Amino acid sequence: PMSPYGFNGDGRDIPPGSTANDLMRNLAQEYQNLGFEEGPANRGEPQIEPARMAAEQMQKLLHDQLEESRAITIMRHVFFEMALLGTGILKGPFTDLKEYNSFDSAEDDEGNEINIRVKKVKTIPSIEAVSCWDFYPDPNATNINDCDYVIQRHSLNRQQFSDLRKMPYFNEEAIDMCLEEGPNYQVRGYESSLYNRETVETIYKNRFEVLEYWGVVSKEMAEECGIESDKSVISVNAWICGGKVLRMVENPFEPTRLPFMVCPYELNPYQFFGIGVPENMEDSQQIMNGHARMAIDNLALAGNLVFDVDETQLVP
């Protein structure tokens, strides 16, 4: 039987620019000499459904891409914050590069066939779960479509910060200057209780705080940063650390959009962030806590010592 996964050179590659009709035609050609006729099959006769076969191949491709982008783990984080804090935030999708090793056959100088290891690069989609604590939307907006801008705060260690130079359009000189100046992470007041760490200042002393900006800037500011455009308002993506611009490019999405999907657990039409499960059940939980405390207090009184006083023995 033919392998459902295929291999390089099996002749089953989809040529660039193919349409759905081309795929259907290729599938139909595989069965043209077997006596099949176009139309529905009679009872007990086999039937070939090219559309279903093409859909199954696309489904397999989607599952592979979700598996490679760790979608299950990332979506669990989004759903967790959506239920706990009221809002789940998903960033992406972006295009990422994945390196993997492959073995190809070749001949050595003596004509013997040998296997050589080849490093290959594959393009895969990538998504990211953004915490509500690191997400700062436009304060005048009530949903992501109304935002003029959003800011995402990153906490990077020295290695992660240095790896930014491998990303496209990052300024390596600005990254080197920030590395020379040292970590600059500013600890927020809520982080000690959020992460349950008393010495949060010492833990984050070797971190870099990087701000990622998605939004609009004026034409003058864009020209100062080397972005030429005929528009009066330009949508950009900028990365900033320690007052230095690490990256500033025009928004690559067409049509222009912010690459964040915000999902509230319960929609509050008058504010950006939604209402989660704990906030919904707060009143009911307080009533339950009150009843539990009352039952414990009554039990303590009922289980106490009991005195019997003979009033005839008291002094008048």
Res 267 pLDDT > 80 = yes
Q: What is the pLDDT of residue 29?
A: 64
Measured torsion, CA atoms of residues 57, 63, 66, 68, in degrees rounded to the nearest 10: -90
Q: Structure pTM?
A: 0.74
Q: Residue 114 and residue 169: Cα distance in Å, rounded?
A: 40
Confidence category of residue 272, pLDDT binned at 50, 70, 90: very high
Res 200 pLDDT > 80 = no
Residue 221 contacts residue 49 (beta carbons within 8 Å): no
Rounded to an integer, what is the distance from CA 183 to the centroid of its chain?
26
Q: What is the mean pLDDT of residues 167-177?
A: 92
The edge-to-edge listing of strands for the beta sheet with 135-137 is: 135-137, 149-156, 208-218, 233-241, 244-250
Q: Residue 19 and residue 14: Cα distance in Å, rounded?
A: 10
* Residues present in the chain in total: 316
Lowest-confidence range among 41-55, 204-218, 220-234, 245-259? Answer: 41-55
pLDDT 10s digits, 280-308: 999 999 999 999 999 999 888 887 777 88
Based on the number of CB atoms within 10 Å of its own CB, is 245 exposed (0-12), middle (13-18) or buried (19 or more)? Answer: middle
pLDDT 10s digits, 34-59: 666 777 877 877 777 778 888 898 89
Q: What is the pLDDT of residue 295?
A: 92
Backbone CA torsion sign across 274, 278, 284, 289: negative
Res 19 pLDDT > 90 = no
Q: Residue 99 and residue 251: Cα distance in Å, rounded?
A: 26
Residue 107 contacts residue 285 (beta carbons within 8 Å): no
Residue with the two structure tokens 């600005």: 174
Rounded to an integer, what is the distance from CA 61 to the centroid of its chain?
19
pLDDT 10s digits, 120-168: 888 888 999 999 999 999 999 999 999 999 999 999 999 999 999 988 8
Residue 161 contacts residue 179 (beta carbons within 8 Å): yes
Q: What is the mean pLDDT of residues 176-181?
A: 93
